Amino acid sequence: MSKYEIISTLVSVLAIIVSTISLVRTRKLAKEQLELERVTAELSRLQIEGIEQEKAEKTKPNFNVTLSKLGKSYYFYITNTGQGTAYNVNFELVDCEDSPLTSDVSEKFPHPEMKLNSRVKLIAAIHMQSPLKYQAKVTWQDAERKNHDEIFWLTL
């Protein structure tokens, strides 16, 4: 082999080595790029879910039930603090043998509609032998007429 053939062979081998290194690096970068695209797609999906959840929260009622003393009388307050409207709202005390609820409940419930910041006030006939805590259940329907309920623990 002549000197030029050896140099030509060395240059060819060097070109193959450079090409191989370049190919390996390109594959590695392509793999990292695909991983980044997958992570970006997952983040986008999570953001979309978050936005949808925020949108659902804006149309969802959120109830708060309290037992408060005003003067010498006690009252149950059922309040919708959520952004959405609740329909056919009902209120009951669960497992309460000596219920402090008066006939006031049958007149006010089921409540046809409770919008944002709506409140219903019920008289509570509390006496010395009344329990110190109550379990209250609020049931309602949303705009799609799906039934929901929530349990609250109230104390004197």
Tens of pLDDT, residue by residue over 52-95, are 888 877 788 999 999 998 888 899 999 999 888 999 999 999 88
Average pLDDT score over residue span 8-36: 91
Q: Average model confidence (pLDDT) for the chain?
A: 89
Determine what percent of the chain is predicted with pLDDT higher than 90.
Answer: 46
Q: What are the C-alpha distances in Å from 77 to residues 87, 93, 124, 136, 155? A: 17, 13, 10, 11, 13
- Among 2.60.40, 3.10.20, 2.40.50, 1.10.760, name the CATH number for the domain at 63-155: 2.60.40
Structure pTM? 0.67
Q: What is the per-residue pLDDT for 105? A: 82
Closest C-alpha among 92, 87, 82, 84 to residue 122: 92
pLDDT for 82:
86
Identity of residue 38: R
What pLDDT score was predicted for residue 89?
Answer: 94
- Both tokens assigned to 115: 């919008």
